[in-house]
Amino acid sequence: MHSSPLMALLGDLLHLLPVVILLAKLWRTRSCSGISGKSQILYAFVFSAQVLDVYGTSSLGSNPPWMRVSLVLASYLIIFLIYGPYRKTYDRDQDVLFNEFLVLPCFVLALFATEGSSSPEHVLLAFAALLEIVAIVPQLELLCGVQSVDNYVVSYLVSLGLYRTVFILTWALQAREFVALPIVVSFVQILLFVVAFLRVFSLKQSKEKVPYDVVE
């Protein structure tokens, strides 16, 4: 069984949606509050690795070329806006998770996952796939520390979860060979999103000193 063109198109649109939501937030609110710059740096690397997969041999490079380029350009624009024009609104004190603690373990695991391969490209793509699992962690850490977050950020997280869900469904419909790495990436990411939303819900219901409120 193969995935329909409609499912593939839906997956492509959902891949773009989180980036579009962030750009819309930055443009309309003139603020990057609630957005982790460190997460965006990690995602920019992942998107850059997709561009390097010229022949689409990796699950990371399954998107059409125009989308890969669009994601890279948009991700670096977001980083520029966070650390440039809107840096005064950046939640620097809450975005404190060191990326090195995420990057180094992913690189070591990528070396083990590609053991026996002499291609640096394979190592890079495996590293990017693993990095994609944890790229959202700084964002989740930031959300647990801020007092409020707008609906753009909530929509951003929801769209990321939807994209990964559609990714798994598309893979199931294709019914080809089992490729463990991207499927594990997707399930772990969805689990992280579920934990994050449960945490958000518990904070909203509690009377803690620093509650989590959704701002219109």
Task: Give the relative orientation of helices 151-174 and 180-205 as an angle to the nearest 10 degrees.
Answer: 150
pLDDT confidence bin for 161, thresholds 50/70/90: confident
Closest Cα to residue 74, out of 134, 119, 113, 27?
27
Average pLDDT over residues 123-148: 84
Asked if the model's pLDDT at residue 156 lies above 50, the reply is yes
Residue-averaged pLDDT of the chain: 79
**What pLDDT is stored for residue 207 in this prediction?**
42
pLDDT confidence bin for 59, thresholds 50/70/90: very low
pLDDT in tens, 189-200: 778 777 777 766
* Helix intervals (H) in 114-179: 120-134, 137-143, 151-174
- DSSP β-bridge partners for residue 150: 215
Q: How far apart are CA 42 and CA 100, in angstroms?
A: 11
Q: How far apart are CA 27 and CA 81, in angstroms?
A: 10
Closest Cα to residue 54, out of 38, 65, 39?
65
Average pLDDT over residues 132-149: 83
**What pLDDT is stored for residue 162 in this prediction?**
84
pLDDT in tens, 96-106: 888 888 899 88
pLDDT confidence bin for 126, thresholds 50/70/90: confident
**Chain position carrying tokens 């994601």:** 71
Predicted TM-score (pTM) above 0.95 = no
